[in-house]
Structure 1
């Protein structure tokens, strides 16, 4: 599989590995699925951000969740060298970063995941794909509620990923979120 040269700049990591290319991430995902191809899987991409002094840190998570039976995950960190104060700008960038990564995991790549599950579809094997948006719909609780529809429409326009918002957007609001808190890039 060939990749566009800009994808080489996207290095992911998790607690046990560093400097994973997107090709290596895909390899890990396919290996994880092949260990139990009769399960239901959620493939999720989500980004969160945190403003720190002098920069805003963005973390994009990729998770393959074997529903009820574990997950494999990794994340990427990026610092924008300014403090973003506009909620709309932060949410737009978060969604854009998730979409950029999802662009690598296009229909051909998702088909490779599905092909592992296909022989087991009558035993419950299934793959659902999501982009998590770190926004909620309750205006009293979430300042992001004004922009939810715009971000949902952006993800829906991609055609292949279903958008999820809080409280269901756990990859953005929980997994990626925990890596945004540290001011330093690891």
Structure 2
């Protein structure tokens, strides 16, 4: 696991069930090849983060979480490819802090990754969505407006549960 440094994408290691370990440039090349196979198809690029909380004895202490960020490219009607990266554990003190950390991980990666992808795709990129692990049911419902605002304020489309599969299904699978 690693702490993600968004200033230097070249040092990041992503994982894929199909491709194993990949760096960002390899991931971008795989995405480009996938799009080039069927350039007239509709694609959606999705980034989402989920976290897993390590059990602690005293709930008053800061808890430790590991964040997993997933990058999913979906070719509508066909399927897709996905990659994930896991960050080193960090301490959190509240559910709000956990959700903000998940949101920030997705947002900061998207802001750094999208220009790199667009450069490789000659200025073109599939529509980007950021999936958030919040929903109308449960404790996170009060945070929806706040985290959706963080995403839309940066020019991206935000999806929440039950439509946020990159966070709640793909990233969750690897936490």
TM-score, structure 1 as length reference = 0.79
CA distance 1:7–1:114, change in 2 (3 Å): closer
- How far off is 1:53 after superposition? 3.8
The aligned length equals 163
Q: Deviations over 1:4-52 (max 9, x none)?
A: 7522332101113343222221111111111111111110000000101
Partner of 1:156: 152
Higher strand share: 2
Higher helix share: 1
Partner of 1:128: 127
Matched, 1:174 2:135: no
Could you tell me whether the CA contact under 8 Å between 1:34 and 1:116 is conserved in 2? no
Aligned equivalent of 2:38, options 26, 36, 39: 36
Q: Deviations over 1:68-102 (max 9, x none)?
A: 201011000013243x3511101100011101210
Partner of 1:183: none
Structure 1: runs of 5+ lacking an equivalent: 118-126, 181-186
**Paired residue secondary structure (2:172):** helix
Matched, 1:87 2:125: no
**Paired residue secondary structure (2:51):** strand
Structure 2: runs of 5+ lacking an equivalent: 1-5, 57-63
Aligned equivalent of 2:113, options 90, 100, 105: 105
**Paired residue secondary structure (2:82):** strand
CA RMSD of aligned residues (A): 2.2
Q: Partners in 1 of 2:48 and 2:82 — Cα distance?
A: 11
